[in-house]
Chain A
Amino acid sequence: MESRIQHIFLTMLLVLGTPGVFAASGSTDPDELELEPLVVRELARRKVEVNKLDQENFEIGVLGGLMSVEDFGSNVVVGARIAYHVTEDFFVEGQYGKTTLGQTSFERLSGGAQILTDDERDMTYYNVSVGYNIFPGESFLGRNLTFKGGLYVVAGVGSTSFGGDDRFTINAGVGYRLIATDWLAFHIDVRDHIFETDLLGTLETKHNIEFSGGLTFFF
Protein backbone atom coordinates (compact mmCIF):
# COMPACT_ATOMS: atom_id res chain seq x y z
CA MET A 1 0.00 0.00 0.00
CA GLU A 2 2.67 2.41 1.07
CA SER A 3 4.82 1.60 -1.91
CA ARG A 4 1.80 2.22 -4.19
CA ILE A 5 1.29 5.73 -2.87
CA GLN A 6 4.99 6.34 -3.28
CA HIS A 7 4.70 5.12 -6.85
CA ILE A 8 1.86 7.57 -7.61
CA PHE A 9 3.79 10.49 -6.15
CA LEU A 10 6.88 9.57 -8.04
CA THR A 11 4.89 9.35 -11.27
CA MET A 12 3.32 12.74 -10.65
CA LEU A 13 6.70 14.20 -9.90
CA LEU A 14 8.07 12.75 -13.08
CA VAL A 15 5.19 14.10 -15.18
CA LEU A 16 5.38 17.57 -13.64
CA GLY A 17 9.13 17.68 -13.85
CA THR A 18 9.35 16.54 -17.45
CA PRO A 19 9.18 19.89 -19.29
CA GLY A 20 11.99 21.18 -17.09
CA VAL A 21 14.05 18.11 -17.76
CA PHE A 22 13.43 18.36 -21.48
CA ALA A 23 14.27 22.06 -21.48
CA ALA A 24 17.47 21.42 -19.60
CA SER A 25 18.50 18.69 -22.02
CA GLY A 26 17.52 20.99 -24.96
CA SER A 27 19.78 23.83 -23.91
CA THR A 28 22.81 21.59 -23.87
CA ASP A 29 22.30 20.85 -27.56
CA PRO A 30 25.16 22.69 -29.33
CA ASP A 31 23.07 23.29 -32.46
CA GLU A 32 20.41 25.21 -30.57
CA LEU A 33 23.03 27.34 -28.85
CA GLU A 34 24.15 28.62 -32.21
CA LEU A 35 20.59 29.45 -33.23
CA GLU A 36 20.06 31.64 -30.20
CA PRO A 37 23.03 33.95 -29.74
CA LEU A 38 23.67 34.93 -26.14
CA VAL A 39 24.28 38.60 -26.94
CA VAL A 40 21.73 40.41 -29.10
CA ARG A 41 23.43 43.07 -31.27
CA GLU A 42 21.53 46.32 -30.95
CA LEU A 43 21.16 48.51 -33.99
CA ALA A 44 22.96 51.82 -33.72
CA ARG A 45 19.90 54.03 -33.40
CA ARG A 46 21.64 57.21 -32.30
CA LYS A 47 19.77 60.33 -33.28
CA VAL A 48 21.72 62.87 -35.28
CA GLU A 49 22.14 65.92 -33.08
CA VAL A 50 23.10 68.93 -35.11
CA ASN A 51 23.99 71.09 -32.10
CA LYS A 52 26.79 68.67 -31.20
CA LEU A 53 28.65 69.64 -34.37
CA ASP A 54 31.86 71.62 -34.24
CA GLN A 55 30.70 75.25 -34.39
CA GLU A 56 33.23 77.77 -35.58
CA ASN A 57 31.76 81.18 -34.89
CA PHE A 58 34.61 82.73 -32.91
CA GLU A 59 37.65 84.40 -34.40
CA ILE A 60 40.72 85.28 -32.36
CA GLY A 61 43.98 86.82 -33.47
CA VAL A 62 46.77 89.34 -33.35
CA LEU A 63 47.46 92.50 -35.31
CA GLY A 64 50.35 94.82 -35.96
CA GLY A 65 50.87 98.01 -37.90
CA LEU A 66 51.25 101.72 -37.70
CA MET A 67 49.18 104.16 -35.72
CA SER A 68 49.27 107.85 -36.29
CA VAL A 69 48.34 109.83 -33.17
CA GLU A 70 47.60 113.47 -33.91
CA ASP A 71 50.46 115.75 -32.73
CA PHE A 72 52.51 112.75 -31.58
CA GLY A 73 53.60 111.18 -34.88
CA SER A 74 53.22 107.64 -36.21
CA ASN A 75 54.42 104.63 -34.31
CA VAL A 76 54.26 100.85 -34.32
CA VAL A 77 51.06 99.44 -32.87
CA VAL A 78 50.47 95.84 -31.77
CA GLY A 79 47.23 94.36 -30.60
CA ALA A 80 44.82 91.49 -30.27
CA ARG A 81 41.26 90.97 -31.35
CA ILE A 82 38.42 88.57 -30.73
CA ALA A 83 35.22 88.41 -32.74
CA TYR A 84 31.99 86.48 -32.54
CA HIS A 85 30.10 85.98 -35.78
CA VAL A 86 26.44 86.29 -34.87
CA THR A 87 25.23 85.73 -38.42
CA GLU A 88 26.79 85.38 -41.83
CA ASP A 89 26.65 89.18 -42.13
CA PHE A 90 27.14 90.61 -38.64
CA PHE A 91 29.84 90.16 -36.07
CA VAL A 92 30.82 91.78 -32.78
CA GLU A 93 34.45 92.43 -32.12
CA GLY A 94 36.66 93.45 -29.23
CA GLN A 95 40.11 94.86 -29.88
CA TYR A 96 43.03 95.89 -27.70
CA GLY A 97 46.11 97.74 -28.91
CA LYS A 98 49.29 99.28 -27.65
CA THR A 99 51.57 101.94 -29.10
CA THR A 100 54.10 104.54 -28.00
CA LEU A 101 53.72 108.24 -28.62
CA GLY A 102 56.46 110.22 -30.32
CA GLN A 103 57.39 113.82 -29.67
CA THR A 104 55.21 116.77 -30.67
CA SER A 105 56.70 119.45 -32.93
CA PHE A 106 56.66 121.80 -29.96
CA GLU A 107 58.78 119.41 -27.88
CA ARG A 108 61.31 119.02 -30.68
CA LEU A 109 61.61 122.72 -31.49
CA SER A 110 61.61 124.04 -27.92
CA GLY A 111 64.66 121.94 -27.18
CA GLY A 112 64.02 120.13 -23.93
CA ALA A 113 60.45 120.97 -22.89
CA GLN A 114 58.49 117.74 -22.33
CA ILE A 115 54.71 117.57 -22.29
CA LEU A 116 54.57 113.91 -21.27
CA THR A 117 56.90 111.69 -19.26
CA ASP A 118 58.14 108.44 -20.82
CA ASP A 119 55.55 106.38 -18.93
CA GLU A 120 52.79 108.69 -20.09
CA ARG A 121 53.81 108.07 -23.70
CA ASP A 122 52.62 104.46 -23.53
CA MET A 123 49.23 104.47 -25.17
CA THR A 124 46.71 101.64 -24.94
CA TYR A 125 43.22 101.41 -26.34
CA TYR A 126 40.37 98.98 -26.27
CA ASN A 127 37.14 99.04 -28.19
CA VAL A 128 34.06 97.01 -28.86
CA SER A 129 32.53 97.23 -32.30
CA VAL A 130 29.84 95.83 -34.50
CA GLY A 131 30.97 94.73 -37.92
CA TYR A 132 29.15 94.05 -41.16
CA ASN A 133 30.53 92.02 -44.06
CA ILE A 134 29.71 94.13 -47.08
CA PHE A 135 31.19 92.42 -50.11
CA PRO A 136 31.55 88.74 -49.24
CA GLY A 137 32.72 86.38 -51.93
CA GLU A 138 35.69 85.32 -53.94
CA SER A 139 38.49 87.52 -55.22
CA PHE A 140 40.94 86.67 -57.93
CA LEU A 141 44.62 87.38 -58.29
CA GLY A 142 45.90 86.70 -61.77
CA ARG A 143 44.66 83.69 -63.69
CA ASN A 144 45.14 80.90 -61.20
CA LEU A 145 44.64 82.23 -57.71
CA THR A 146 41.24 82.46 -56.00
CA PHE A 147 40.76 83.83 -52.52
CA LYS A 148 37.75 83.65 -50.27
CA GLY A 149 37.03 86.67 -48.14
CA GLY A 150 35.49 90.06 -48.32
CA LEU A 151 35.34 93.61 -47.11
CA TYR A 152 33.84 94.53 -43.78
CA VAL A 153 32.99 97.79 -42.05
CA VAL A 154 33.19 98.24 -38.30
CA ALA A 155 32.16 100.92 -35.85
CA GLY A 156 32.20 100.99 -32.10
CA VAL A 157 33.12 102.61 -28.83
CA GLY A 158 36.00 102.24 -26.45
CA SER A 159 38.60 103.99 -24.42
CA THR A 160 42.09 105.27 -25.14
CA SER A 161 44.54 105.70 -22.32
CA PHE A 162 47.63 107.93 -22.43
CA GLY A 163 49.13 110.85 -20.57
CA GLY A 164 47.65 109.50 -17.35
CA ASP A 165 44.03 109.82 -18.48
CA ASP A 166 41.40 107.73 -20.27
CA ARG A 167 39.43 109.15 -23.14
CA PHE A 168 36.14 107.98 -24.59
CA THR A 169 36.91 106.90 -28.13
CA ILE A 170 34.76 106.22 -31.14
CA ASN A 171 36.29 104.02 -33.79
CA ALA A 172 35.20 103.32 -37.33
CA GLY A 173 36.95 101.62 -40.17
CA VAL A 174 37.05 99.22 -43.00
CA GLY A 175 38.96 95.99 -43.43
CA TYR A 176 39.54 93.08 -45.75
CA ARG A 177 39.44 89.51 -44.48
CA LEU A 178 41.22 86.98 -46.64
CA ILE A 179 40.19 83.47 -45.65
CA ALA A 180 43.12 81.16 -46.26
CA THR A 181 41.59 77.98 -44.84
CA ASP A 182 38.47 77.22 -42.83
CA TRP A 183 40.27 78.20 -39.68
CA LEU A 184 42.86 80.78 -40.72
CA ALA A 185 42.31 84.31 -42.03
CA PHE A 186 44.46 87.35 -42.81
CA HIS A 187 43.28 90.89 -42.21
CA ILE A 188 44.13 94.31 -43.51
CA ASP A 189 42.48 97.07 -41.52
CA VAL A 190 42.23 100.84 -41.61
CA ARG A 191 40.58 102.49 -38.63
CA ASP A 192 40.02 105.95 -37.29
CA HIS A 193 40.08 106.37 -33.51
CA ILE A 194 38.33 109.62 -32.59
CA PHE A 195 38.60 111.21 -29.15
CA GLU A 196 38.64 114.61 -27.50
CA THR A 197 41.57 115.84 -25.46
CA ASP A 198 42.68 119.07 -23.77
CA LEU A 199 46.23 117.89 -23.29
CA LEU A 200 47.59 120.68 -25.50
CA GLY A 201 45.60 123.53 -23.99
CA THR A 202 42.16 123.55 -25.58
CA LEU A 203 39.66 120.74 -25.92
CA GLU A 204 40.00 119.36 -29.43
CA THR A 205 38.70 116.40 -31.40
CA LYS A 206 41.56 114.24 -32.63
CA HIS A 207 41.51 111.76 -35.48
CA ASN A 208 44.03 108.97 -35.19
CA ILE A 209 44.43 106.62 -38.11
CA GLU A 210 45.59 103.08 -37.56
CA PHE A 211 46.75 100.88 -40.41
CA SER A 212 47.27 97.24 -39.47
CA GLY A 213 47.65 93.72 -40.75
CA GLY A 214 46.52 90.73 -38.75
CA LEU A 215 46.17 87.01 -38.45
CA THR A 216 43.10 85.31 -36.96
CA PHE A 217 41.95 81.80 -36.18
CA PHE A 218 38.40 80.57 -36.31
CA PHE A 219 37.36 78.21 -33.54
Chain B
Amino acid sequence: MNGKAGYMGKWLALSIACLLLAMPAQARLLDIFQKYQPELVVSDPYIEMHTGPGRGYPVFYVAGQGDHIKLLKQRNHWFKIRIPRGQHFKEGWVHVDQMRHTLDLEGNEIEFGQVALGDFTRRRWEVGLNGGDFGGAASITGYLGYALNQYITLQLEATQILGNFSDGLMGSANIVMYPFPKWRVSPYFTIGTGIIATKPHTTIVQAQDRRDEIAHAGAGANIYLSDRFILRMEYKRHTVLTSRDDNQEINQWKAGFSIFF
Protein backbone atom coordinates (compact mmCIF):
# COMPACT_ATOMS: atom_id res chain seq x y z
CA MET B 1 0.00 0.00 0.00
CA ASN B 2 2.68 2.38 1.15
CA GLY B 3 4.98 1.33 -1.67
CA LYS B 4 2.26 1.93 -4.22
CA ALA B 5 1.59 5.40 -2.82
CA GLY B 6 5.31 6.17 -2.99
CA TYR B 7 5.41 5.00 -6.58
CA MET B 8 2.42 7.16 -7.47
CA GLY B 9 4.01 10.09 -5.68
CA LYS B 10 7.17 9.67 -7.68
CA TRP B 11 5.25 9.69 -10.94
CA LEU B 12 3.27 12.72 -9.86
CA ALA B 13 6.43 14.58 -8.93
CA LEU B 14 8.03 13.58 -12.21
CA SER B 15 5.10 14.74 -14.29
CA ILE B 16 4.89 18.03 -12.38
CA ALA B 17 8.61 18.52 -12.93
CA CYS B 18 8.13 17.88 -16.64
CA LEU B 19 5.27 20.38 -16.77
CA LEU B 20 7.29 22.99 -14.94
CA LEU B 21 10.21 22.53 -17.29
CA ALA B 22 7.92 23.05 -20.21
CA MET B 23 6.57 26.36 -18.96
CA PRO B 24 8.13 29.50 -20.36
CA ALA B 25 8.26 31.18 -16.96
CA GLN B 26 10.63 28.48 -15.86
CA ALA B 27 13.08 29.31 -18.62
CA ARG B 28 14.48 31.91 -16.24
CA LEU B 29 14.89 29.28 -13.57
CA LEU B 30 16.91 27.18 -16.00
CA ASP B 31 19.19 30.14 -16.58
CA ILE B 32 20.67 29.46 -13.16
CA PHE B 33 22.73 26.85 -14.95
CA GLN B 34 24.58 29.79 -16.52
CA LYS B 35 24.69 29.30 -20.23
CA TYR B 36 27.91 30.12 -22.01
CA GLN B 37 27.22 33.37 -23.89
CA PRO B 38 30.44 35.10 -24.95
CA GLU B 39 30.60 38.67 -26.23
CA LEU B 40 32.12 39.58 -29.59
CA VAL B 41 32.83 42.59 -31.77
CA VAL B 42 31.73 42.93 -35.40
CA SER B 43 34.69 43.69 -37.68
CA ASP B 44 33.01 43.28 -41.07
CA PRO B 45 31.26 46.43 -42.37
CA TYR B 46 27.98 44.80 -41.34
CA ILE B 47 26.35 41.46 -40.55
CA GLU B 48 22.77 40.58 -41.40
CA MET B 49 20.35 39.44 -38.73
CA HIS B 50 17.54 37.11 -39.88
CA THR B 51 14.29 36.51 -38.02
CA GLY B 52 14.98 32.76 -37.85
CA PRO B 53 17.73 30.17 -38.28
CA GLY B 54 17.39 29.63 -42.03
CA ARG B 55 17.87 31.31 -45.38
CA GLY B 56 14.10 31.46 -45.81
CA TYR B 57 13.77 33.97 -43.00
CA PRO B 58 14.12 37.62 -43.97
CA VAL B 59 16.85 40.02 -42.82
CA PHE B 60 15.26 42.46 -40.37
CA TYR B 61 18.27 44.23 -38.88
CA VAL B 62 21.93 44.88 -39.56
CA ALA B 63 24.70 45.08 -36.98
CA GLY B 64 27.53 47.41 -37.98
CA GLN B 65 31.29 47.41 -37.59
CA GLY B 66 32.39 47.81 -33.97
CA ASP B 67 29.07 46.71 -32.52
CA HIS B 68 29.29 44.48 -29.48
CA ILE B 69 27.19 41.36 -29.86
CA LYS B 70 26.43 38.49 -27.53
CA LEU B 71 26.33 34.91 -28.82
CA LEU B 72 23.28 33.21 -27.35
CA LYS B 73 22.99 29.83 -29.04
CA GLN B 74 23.61 27.85 -32.17
CA ARG B 75 21.41 25.80 -34.49
CA ASN B 76 23.22 24.10 -37.36
CA HIS B 77 25.02 26.89 -39.22
CA TRP B 78 23.14 29.73 -37.55
CA PHE B 79 23.97 31.72 -34.43
CA LYS B 80 21.47 33.62 -32.37
CA ILE B 81 22.93 36.96 -31.32
CA ARG B 82 21.82 39.82 -29.10
CA ILE B 83 22.82 43.41 -29.75
CA PRO B 84 22.09 46.21 -27.27
CA ARG B 85 20.25 49.23 -28.66
CA GLY B 86 19.70 51.95 -26.06
CA GLN B 87 17.31 50.66 -23.41
CA HIS B 88 16.42 47.63 -25.50
CA PHE B 89 18.15 44.99 -27.55
CA LYS B 90 17.69 43.22 -30.86
CA GLU B 91 17.92 39.47 -31.23
CA GLY B 92 18.36 37.68 -34.52
CA TRP B 93 20.07 34.83 -36.34
CA VAL B 94 23.30 35.20 -38.28
CA HIS B 95 24.83 32.64 -40.63
CA VAL B 96 28.25 31.28 -39.71
CA ASP B 97 29.76 32.67 -42.96
CA GLN B 98 29.01 36.20 -41.75
CA MET B 99 30.33 35.48 -38.27
CA ARG B 100 33.76 34.40 -39.44
CA HIS B 101 35.28 37.86 -39.20
CA THR B 102 33.93 38.82 -35.80
CA LEU B 103 36.59 39.26 -33.12
CA ASP B 104 36.65 38.74 -29.40
CA LEU B 105 36.85 41.79 -27.10
CA GLU B 106 40.64 41.90 -27.35
CA GLY B 107 40.65 41.83 -31.13
CA ASN B 108 41.59 38.18 -31.58
CA GLU B 109 40.07 36.09 -34.32
CA ILE B 110 37.64 33.37 -33.35
CA GLU B 111 37.47 29.92 -34.83
CA PHE B 112 34.03 29.20 -36.16
CA GLY B 113 34.86 25.63 -36.95
CA GLN B 114 32.60 23.73 -39.26
CA VAL B 115 32.27 19.98 -39.16
CA ALA B 116 34.30 18.67 -42.08
CA LEU B 117 36.05 15.63 -43.51
CA GLY B 118 38.72 15.75 -40.80
CA ASP B 119 36.06 15.36 -38.12
CA PHE B 120 34.62 12.42 -40.04
CA THR B 121 38.03 10.74 -39.93
CA ARG B 122 38.48 11.47 -36.23
CA ARG B 123 34.91 10.59 -35.20
CA ARG B 124 34.51 8.76 -31.92
CA TRP B 125 30.79 7.86 -31.66
CA GLU B 126 28.58 6.89 -34.52
CA VAL B 127 24.88 5.95 -34.62
CA GLY B 128 23.03 4.83 -37.67
CA LEU B 129 20.02 3.14 -39.16
CA ASN B 130 19.73 1.17 -42.32
CA GLY B 131 17.26 -0.95 -44.15
CA GLY B 132 17.72 -3.72 -46.64
CA ASP B 133 17.24 -7.30 -47.62
CA PHE B 134 17.98 -10.24 -45.33
CA GLY B 135 17.74 -13.45 -47.33
CA GLY B 136 14.52 -12.33 -49.00
CA ALA B 137 13.00 -10.66 -45.95
CA ALA B 138 13.11 -6.94 -45.16
CA SER B 139 15.51 -5.88 -42.43
CA ILE B 140 15.90 -2.75 -40.33
CA THR B 141 19.14 -2.30 -38.43
CA GLY B 142 20.21 0.18 -35.81
CA TYR B 143 23.78 0.34 -34.59
CA LEU B 144 26.06 2.17 -32.22
CA GLY B 145 29.77 2.36 -32.88
CA TYR B 146 32.73 3.48 -30.80
CA ALA B 147 36.05 4.12 -32.53
CA LEU B 148 39.10 2.83 -30.69
CA ASN B 149 41.18 4.65 -33.28
CA GLN B 150 40.81 5.73 -36.90
CA TYR B 151 41.17 2.16 -38.12
CA ILE B 152 39.11 0.06 -35.71
CA THR B 153 35.55 0.55 -34.47
CA LEU B 154 33.60 -1.60 -32.04
CA GLN B 155 29.96 -1.90 -32.90
CA LEU B 156 26.71 -3.13 -31.37
CA GLU B 157 23.91 -3.91 -33.78
CA ALA B 158 20.23 -4.73 -33.45
CA THR B 159 18.26 -5.93 -36.47
CA GLN B 160 14.59 -6.55 -36.93
CA ILE B 161 13.82 -8.99 -39.73
CA LEU B 162 10.36 -8.79 -41.28
CA GLY B 163 9.46 -11.55 -43.67
CA ASN B 164 6.22 -12.73 -45.20
CA PHE B 165 6.34 -15.95 -43.20
CA SER B 166 8.32 -15.07 -40.10
CA ASP B 167 9.74 -12.23 -38.04
CA GLY B 168 13.08 -12.18 -36.33
CA LEU B 169 15.32 -10.20 -34.04
CA MET B 170 19.08 -10.30 -34.25
CA GLY B 171 21.61 -8.77 -31.90
CA SER B 172 25.31 -8.82 -32.60
CA ALA B 173 28.68 -7.39 -31.67
CA ASN B 174 31.11 -6.53 -34.47
CA ILE B 175 34.58 -5.28 -35.14
CA VAL B 176 34.88 -2.95 -38.12
CA MET B 177 38.19 -2.22 -39.81
CA TYR B 178 38.76 0.86 -41.95
CA PRO B 179 41.94 0.53 -44.01
CA PHE B 180 41.61 4.05 -45.47
CA PRO B 181 39.94 6.20 -42.80
CA LYS B 182 40.95 9.50 -44.43
CA TRP B 183 39.04 8.89 -47.66
CA ARG B 184 35.67 10.51 -48.25
CA VAL B 185 34.45 7.12 -49.48
CA SER B 186 35.88 4.90 -46.80
CA PRO B 187 35.64 1.13 -47.38
CA TYR B 188 35.56 -1.29 -44.46
CA PHE B 189 35.54 -4.93 -43.46
CA THR B 190 33.60 -6.35 -40.57
CA ILE B 191 33.27 -9.56 -38.61
CA GLY B 192 30.99 -10.33 -35.71
CA THR B 193 28.83 -12.74 -33.82
CA GLY B 194 25.45 -12.70 -32.15
CA ILE B 195 22.09 -14.30 -31.62
CA ILE B 196 19.07 -14.52 -33.91
CA ALA B 197 15.55 -15.28 -32.69
CA THR B 198 12.95 -16.25 -35.29
CA LYS B 199 9.19 -16.28 -34.83
CA PRO B 200 6.98 -17.68 -37.60
CA HIS B 201 3.85 -15.71 -38.44
CA THR B 202 0.61 -16.61 -36.74
CA THR B 203 -0.91 -17.58 -40.12
CA ILE B 204 1.70 -20.36 -40.48
CA VAL B 205 0.66 -23.57 -38.75
CA GLN B 206 2.92 -25.95 -36.87
CA ALA B 207 6.01 -23.82 -36.69
CA GLN B 208 8.19 -23.17 -33.68
CA ASP B 209 10.10 -20.19 -32.39
CA ARG B 210 13.84 -20.63 -32.76
CA ARG B 211 16.91 -19.07 -31.21
CA ASP B 212 20.29 -19.65 -32.84
CA GLU B 213 23.80 -18.35 -32.70
CA ILE B 214 25.01 -16.49 -35.71
CA ALA B 215 28.39 -15.42 -37.08
CA HIS B 216 29.00 -13.05 -39.94
CA ALA B 217 31.58 -11.35 -42.11
CA GLY B 218 31.02 -8.49 -44.47
CA ALA B 219 32.26 -5.46 -46.31
CA GLY B 220 30.90 -2.01 -46.98
CA ALA B 221 31.63 1.65 -47.39
CA ASN B 222 30.98 4.86 -45.49
CA ILE B 223 30.42 7.86 -47.72
CA TYR B 224 30.83 11.21 -45.99
CA LEU B 225 28.07 13.55 -47.19
CA SER B 226 28.33 16.75 -45.15
CA ASP B 227 28.22 18.03 -41.59
CA ARG B 228 27.63 14.94 -39.45
CA PHE B 229 25.92 12.87 -42.14
CA ILE B 230 27.27 9.57 -43.47
CA LEU B 231 25.74 7.35 -46.15
CA ARG B 232 26.49 3.71 -45.36
CA MET B 233 26.21 0.62 -47.57
CA GLU B 234 27.02 -2.91 -46.52
CA TYR B 235 26.98 -6.55 -47.53
CA LYS B 236 27.11 -9.30 -44.93
CA ARG B 237 27.15 -13.05 -45.12
CA HIS B 238 25.62 -14.68 -42.07
CA THR B 239 26.10 -18.24 -40.93
CA VAL B 240 23.29 -19.39 -38.67
CA LEU B 241 24.65 -22.13 -36.40
CA THR B 242 21.49 -24.23 -36.24
CA SER B 243 20.89 -27.29 -34.11
CA ARG B 244 20.15 -29.22 -37.30
CA ASP B 245 22.73 -31.09 -39.34
CA ASP B 246 23.67 -28.24 -41.67
CA ASN B 247 24.23 -24.55 -41.05
CA GLN B 248 22.18 -21.97 -42.87
CA GLU B 249 23.83 -19.26 -44.95
CA ILE B 250 22.06 -15.91 -45.40
CA ASN B 251 23.07 -12.89 -47.47
CA GLN B 252 22.21 -9.42 -46.25
CA TRP B 253 22.36 -6.19 -48.26
CA LYS B 254 21.62 -2.88 -46.64
CA ALA B 255 21.97 0.88 -46.96
CA GLY B 256 21.22 3.76 -44.64
CA PHE B 257 22.34 6.89 -42.88
CA SER B 258 24.60 7.47 -39.90
CA ILE B 259 25.45 10.44 -37.76
CA PHE B 260 28.74 10.84 -35.96
CA PHE B 261 29.82 12.80 -32.90
- Residues on B with C-beta less than 8 A from A164 are 201-202
- Residues on A with C-beta less than 8 A from B167 are 165-166
A-B contact pairs, 6 of them (CB 8 A): A48-B110, A50-B112, A148-B52, A159-B140, A168-B162, A182-B73
Determine if A56 and B74 form an interchain contact, defined as CB atoms under 8 angstroms apart: yes
Q: Given the complex of chains A and B, what is the CA–CA distance between A157 and B137 in angstroms? A: 14
Chain B stretch 195-214: residues in CB contact (< 8 A) with chain A: 201-203
Determine if A47 and B104 form an interchain contact, defined as CB atoms under 8 angstroms apart: yes
- Residues on B with C-beta less than 8 A from A138 are 51-52, 56-58
- Residues on B with C-beta less than 8 A from A211 are none
CB of B115, distance to nearest CB on chain A (Å): 10
- Residues on B with C-beta less than 8 A from A218 are 75
Task: Let me know if B2 is at the binding interface, CB within 8 A.
Answer: no
Cross-interface CB contact of A165 among B24, B202, B257, cutoff 8 Å = B202
Task: Let me know if B19 is at the binding interface, CB within 8 A.
Answer: no
Cross-interface CB contact of B75 among A55, A128, A150, A157, cutoff 8 Å = A55
Determine if B75 and A181 form an interchain contact, defined as CB atoms under 8 angstroms apart: no
CB of A147, distance to nearest CB on chain B (Å): 10
Task: Let me know if A112 is at the binding interface, CB within 8 A.
Answer: no
Q: Given the complex of chains A and B, what is the CA–CA distance between A50 and B73 in angstroms? A: 9
Q: Given the complex of chains A and B, what is the CA–CA distance between A157 and B203 in angstroms? A: 24
> Interface 1/0s, chain A 166-199, versus B by CB < 8 A?
1110000000000101100000000000001011
- Residues on A with C-beta less than 8 A from B73 are 53-56, 182
CB of B131, distance to nearest CB on chain A (Å): 4
Determine if B227 and A86 form an interchain contact, defined as CB atoms under 8 angstroms apart: yes
Determine if A135 and B160 form an interchain contact, defined as CB atoms under 8 angstroms apart: no
Determine if B56 and A50 form an interchain contact, defined as CB atoms under 8 angstroms apart: no
**Quick one: closest B residue to A203, CB to CB?**
B164
CB of B258, distance to nearest CB on chain A (Å): 10
Determine if B259 and A51 form an interchain contact, defined as CB atoms under 8 angstroms apart: no
Q: Given the complex of chains A and B, what is the CA–CA distance between A198 and B131 in angstroms? A: 22
> Interface 1/0s, chain A 41-63, versus B by CB < 8 A?
00001011111111111000000
CB of B132, distance to nearest CB on chain A (Å): 9
Determine if A56 and B228 form an interchain contact, defined as CB atoms under 8 angstroms apart: no
Determine if A148 and B57 form an interchain contact, defined as CB atoms under 8 angstroms apart: yes
- Residues on B with C-beta less than 8 A from A148 are 51-52, 57
Interface size class of A (residues with CB under 8 A): 35 or more
Determine if B259 and A84 form an interchain contact, defined as CB atoms under 8 angstroms apart: yes
CB of A153, distance to nearest CB on chain B (Å): 15
Determine if A50 and B111 form an interchain contact, defined as CB atoms under 8 angstroms apart: yes
Determine if A136 and B259 form an interchain contact, defined as CB atoms under 8 angstroms apart: no
Determine if B74 and A87 form an interchain contact, defined as CB atoms under 8 angstroms apart: no
Determine if A45 and B52 form an interchain contact, defined as CB atoms under 8 angstroms apart: no
**Quick one: closest A residue to B106, CB to CB?**
A45
Chain A stretch 67-112: residues in CB contact (< 8 A) with chain B: 84-88, 90, 92
Interface centre among B79, B110, B164 (most CB of A within 10 A): B164
Chain A stretch 124-147: residues in CB contact (< 8 A) with chain B: 128, 130, 133, 135-138
Determine if A51 and B113 form an interchain contact, defined as CB atoms under 8 angstroms apart: yes
- At the interface with chain A, which of B35-43, B171-179, B215-223, B233-241? B35-43
Determine if A88 and B55 form an interchain contact, defined as CB atoms under 8 angstroms apart: yes
Contact (A137, B75) CB under 8 Å given A48-B40, A165-B201, A198-B164: no
- Residues on A with C-beta less than 8 A from B203 are 165, 198-199
CB of B105, distance to nearest CB on chain A (Å): 9
Task: Let me know if A163 is at the binding interface, CB within 8 A.
Answer: yes
Chain B stretch 218-256: residues in CB contact (< 8 A) with chain A: 226-229
Task: Let me know if B53 is at the binding interface, CB within 8 A.
Answer: yes
- Residues on B with C-beta less than 8 A from A167 are 162
Task: Let me know if B108 is at the binding interface, CB within 8 A.
Answer: yes
Determine if A137 and B57 form an interchain contact, defined as CB atoms under 8 angstroms apart: yes
Q: Given the complex of chains A and B, what is the CA–CA distance between A130 and B225 in angstroms? A: 14
- Residues on A with C-beta less than 8 A from B259 are 84, 86, 92
- Residues on B with C-beta less than 8 A from A150 are 54, 56
CB of B230, distance to nearest CB on chain A (Å): 10
Cross-interface CB contact of A88 among B40, B58, B77, B164, cutoff 8 Å = B77
- List 14 other contacts, CB 8 Å, given A136-B56, A148-B52: A47-B108, A48-B110, A54-B35, A54-B72, A88-B55, A88-B76, A88-B78, A92-B257, A157-B131, A166-B162, A168-B140, A168-B162, A198-B203, A199-B203
